[in-house]
Amino acid sequence: MSEKIRSFISIDITDQNLLDKIVGIQRSLLETGADLKTVEPENLHLTLRFLGEIPRSTLELVRGELKSLRFNRFKLNLYGLGAFPNLRRINVVWIGVREGKENLKEVAKKVEFMLKKLGFPPDPKGFSPHLTIARVRTGKNRDRLIDF
């Protein structure tokens, strides 16, 4: 039986100035007293498509196909905080995408098309451009995040 790996396709955040600003926001969120697990700076990314648990051989196939994807360089501007599933029941805290959102959606469409050719089913949730910065562990002081 082939080893399965939890996989996703993403764009890493590598700009140190941006990472420093995000870490500052994360610190402020922790100061609310909410029970949060912040995403480590080296793990911050914009997910284009979650793949789930897939065999290593399939992952290698996806990697190979990704190398053939082409798109023009574009600028992204991250702005504003939001929450999944909603503000009444916050499980995930994220930063939104303002400038470059349409470009990012185009890249996600190309990824989705490539995955369809490889036999992956369509993403049932669709693409929602965001950068996850924290996850709520328990309901402790969760309500304090609403006013953040």
Active site residue 101: no
Number of helices (H), then strands (E), belonging to the chain: the values are 3, 6
Q: Give the model confidence (pLDDT) of 118-146 as tens digits.
A: 999 999 989 999 999 999 999 899 989 98
CA 39 to chain centre: 11
Q: What is the pLDDT of residue 77?
A: 94
Give the torsion sign (CA, 84, 87, 90, 96). Answer: positive
| Angle ∠(131,128,24) on CA atoms, nearest 5 | 15
Q: Give the model confidence (pLDDT) of 10-60 as tens digits.
A: 999 999 999 999 999 999 999 999 999 999 999 999 999 999 999 999 999
Give me the catalytic one of 36, 38, 90, 130: 130
pLDDT at 83 over 80: yes
Q: Give the model confidence (pLDDT) of 106-119 as tens digits.
A: 999 999 999 999 99
Q: Which amino acid is at 79?
A: Y
Active site residue 128: no
DSSP E strand stretches across 41-138: 45-55, 78-86, 89-97, 130-136
User: Which residue is it, tokens 């190309």?
Assistant: 110
pLDDT at 2 over 90: no
What domains are there in the chain, each with its CATH number? 4-145 (3.90.1140.10)
